[in-house]
């Protein structure tokens, strides 16, 4: 059994996220726009140099979400997400929209319009749809362990006409073998701290990337934020496993075989841990 946050604790978390977005993200983004602050970049992030992407495949073969036929040992960790598929977006949008605005801006130079991209822990699919606009000749495949999220994501993408998307129910640590070597980029948005086995997830994602492919984790990161926010996250965030510092991300990525590991700060407390699969 895992600890499950109470509805009261989850309510506190949502209010805190909205307040943090309004009182920290917003002023910071204005200061950044005015050139008054510069986000921190550390380590050795890969240089943006996108090659021609792998193009469409899964969106043409999976017109319906591909669901798991067997239960996963981690299903209990996503029970709350499973229930919240249709309403999740309304709670997190004020927080995740400005963060993802910054992330898309930072990732765009790495992306070719034919890229085949995976969103690992895609939730209700909002970022999948958004990223799919950057790859009109490619596609974005959202994977998530929670069936409720996968179904909600597919319905939303389909209703809005995002044809270059596909959705697969999977544990990020046990991705389908047919994904091996089939992606130009894998990203995750606010999902990495829910992965029950970050080492297995990183290795599985490494296997899914083509040589030279990019892995980008958008999540909490700097040590000051990880230390100060972990107790409240453990109390209030359903299925929370743990944040990583930029240094811990570098170790995780290097152990899986990635190189050019670095941290691109986005807004206070959050950034992109990024790395590249070796070319050969």
Chain residues in the site for ligand SAM (CB under 6 A) = 74, 77-78, 81, 92, 96, 121-123, 127, 144-146, 149, 171-172, 189-191, 194-196, 239
114 versus 264: smaller Cβ distance to ligand SAM: 264
Strands (E), the chain: 41-43, 116-120, 139-144, 165-169, 183-189, 209-220, 259-267, 270-276
Number of residues assigned to the chain = 280
| DSSP letter (8 states) at residue 23 | I
114 versus 208: smaller Cβ distance to ligand SAM: 208
16 versus 37: smaller Cβ distance to ligand SAM: 16
82 versus 251: smaller Cβ distance to ligand SAM: 82
Q: How far is the CB of 15 from ligand SAM (least distance, A)?
A: 16
Q: Which backbone phi and psi does 26 adopt, to 5 degrees?
A: -60, -55
Closest CA to 237 of 80, 82, 127, 39: 80
Rounded CA-CA distance 207/242 in Å is 23
Q: How far is the CB of 65 from ligand SAM (least distance, A)?
A: 13
Q: How far is the CB of 44 from ligand SAM (least distance, A)?
A: 26
Residue 87 contacts by C-beta under 8 Å, 6 or more apart in sequence?
none
In the chain, what's the furthest Cα-to-Cα distance? 52
131: which strand partners? none
111 versus 150: smaller Cβ distance to ligand SAM: 150
Q: Are 125 and 97 in contact (CB under 8 A)?
A: no
Closest CA to 216 of 100, 126, 123, 132: 100
Give the number of C-alpha atoms closer than 13 A to the C-alpha of residue 166, restricted to the C-beta side: 20
37 versus 200: smaller Cβ distance to ligand SAM: 200
Q: How far is the CB of 41 from ligand SAM (least distance, A)?
A: 22
């Amino acid at each position: 059994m895992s600890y499950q946050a109470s509805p009261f604790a989850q309510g506190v978390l949502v209010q805190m996220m909205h307040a943090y977005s309004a009182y920290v993200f917003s002023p910071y983004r204005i200061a950044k726009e005015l050139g008054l602050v510069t986000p921190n970049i550390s380590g050795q992030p890969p240089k943006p140099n996108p090659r021609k992407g792998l193009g469409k495949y899964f969106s043409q073969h999976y017109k319906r979400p591909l669901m798991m036929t067997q239960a996963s040992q981690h299903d209990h960790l996503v029970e709350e997400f499973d229930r919240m598929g249709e309403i999740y977006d309304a709670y997190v949008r004020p927080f995740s929209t400005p963060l993802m605005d910054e992330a898309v801006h930072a990732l765009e130079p790495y992306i070719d319009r034919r890229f085949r991209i995976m969103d690992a822990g895609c939730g209700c699919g909002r970022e999948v749809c958004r990223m799919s606009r950057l790859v009109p000749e490619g596609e974005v495949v959202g994977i998530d362990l929670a069936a409720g999220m996968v179904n909600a994501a597919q319905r939303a993408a389909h209703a809005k006409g995002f044809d270059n998307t596909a959705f697969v129910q999977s544990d990020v640590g046990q991705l389908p073998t047919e994904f091996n070597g089939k992606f130009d980029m894998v990203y995750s948005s606010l999902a990495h701290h829910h992965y029950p086995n970050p080492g297995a997830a990183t290795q599985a994602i490494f296997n899914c990337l083509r040589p030279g492919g990019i892995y980008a984790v958008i999540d909490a990161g700097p040590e000051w934020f990880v230390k100060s926010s972990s107790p409240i996250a453990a109390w209030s965030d359903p299925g929370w496993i743990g944040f990583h510092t930029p240094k811990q991300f570098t170790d995780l990525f290097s152990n899986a075989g990635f190189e050019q590991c670095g941290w691109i700060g986005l807004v206070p407390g959050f950034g992109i841990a990024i790395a590249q699969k070796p070319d050969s």
